[in-house]
Amino acid sequence: MTTATGALLSSCQQEPTNAITPSGARNSGIGADVDVDLGSGDVAILNYAYALEQIEATFYERVVANPYAGITQAELSILKDIRDHEVIHREFFKAALGSAGLPALAIDFNGVVFSDRNSVLTTARTFEDIGVTAYNGAGKFLKDVNYLLLAGKIVSVEARHASVIRELLQPNTRYFAGDDVVDPTTALDGKREPGEVLPIAQAFIKQTLTANSFPTVAS
């Protein structure tokens, strides 16, 4: 691979034929009132992940740019690390999807009080936990085993984030892997279907995400 852009999808047969615009960017210059479709096949799943990573990365960028009152050096260091990881995930998906990728989403954290530790950390916890359930529920839809492995490489990092954020919220308890997220009988982490996650994600996205051709059958 000599170029990063679109490299991951260079062999992908599912790339939408209408993806390439004269500017080379799909849905470029899109307004907040325009629908954005995730696409079909594996592209749709990767765009789904890309949308979630955009939300997470933007969130932590704001958290680190404007730290909450009373933040400790240790907490700031953790949040900077997580920001870096989420930005790397976002930029990776952007490069990998190339012209098939979603546009930059307009993201709104209405309701999050960035000056308040509890508001920031409970939001972070929610994003990380949802990320884990989203990847856990989406793996079965991926056709290409390499994308499945890629999702696996990311989801465990999200789970590490979730654990660490939860430890900040309730130190020295069971909360890092609490019964609210890990079923106490089976000890399985949660999973959510894309149809469950998208409405949650939509609340933070100004454009309307559509999933008109989203895979619905495990491949």
Partner 1 sequence: MNLQNIINEIEKVDADVIDRLEHVSRRHMFSAFAKKAVAAASPVLLTSALTQAYGQGTALPGQVREVLQFALLLENVESDFYNTGLAANVVPFPYKDAIDQIARHENAHVILLKSVLGSAADPKPKFDFTAGGAFADVFTNFKTFAAVAQAFEDTGVRAYKGQAGKLKPYSAYLEVALRIHSVEARHAARLRLINAQKGWITLNAGFPAAVYAGDDVTTQGGVALNSIPSLAGYSAATLSEAFDEPLPQDEVLKIAIQFLAK
**Could you list the residues that contact partner 1 (CB under 8 A)?**
1, 3-4, 7-8, 10, 78, 81, 84-85, 87-89, 91-92, 94-96, 132, 135-137, 139-140, 145-150, 152-164, 167, 172-174, 176-178, 182, 184-191, 218-219
CB of 208 to partner 1, least distance (A): 26
Which lies closer to partner 1 via its Cβ, residue 4 or residue 203?
A: 4
Contact 158, 189 (CB under 8 A): no
Q: State how far the alpha carbon of 31 is from the alpha carbons of 22, 36, 189, in Å.
A: 17, 10, 37
- Which C-beta is closer to partner 1: that of 139 or that of 208? 139
From start to end of 110-215, where are the E strands? Answer: 208-210
Q: Shortest distance, CB of residue 170 to partner 1, whole angstroms?
A: 10
Amino acid at 143: K
C-alpha to C-alpha distances, 129 to 60, 78, 136, 182, 205, nearest whole angstrom: 15, 17, 11, 10, 18
Residue 164 or 202 with smaller CB distance to partner 1: 164
When the beta carbons of 99 and 202 are compared against partner 1, the nearer one is 99
Of 179, 184, 61, 83, residue with least CA distance to 129: 179
* Cβ-based nearer residue to partner 1, 127 or 135: 135
Query: How many whole angstroms separate alpha carbon 154 and alpha carbon 130?
Result: 13
**Shortest Cβ 48–partner 1 spacing (Å):** 15
CB of 35 to partner 1, least distance (A): 26
With H, G, I as helix, E, B as strand and everything else as coil, classify residue 208: strand
Return the closest-CA partner of residue 53 out of 11, 17, 102: 102
Would you say 149 or 203 has its CB closer to partner 1?
149
Question: Closest distance between partner 1 and the C-beta of residue 8, in Å?
Answer: 4
Least separation in angstroms between residue 144's CB and partner 1 is: 10
Q: Which two tokens stand for residue 53?
A: 């990573």
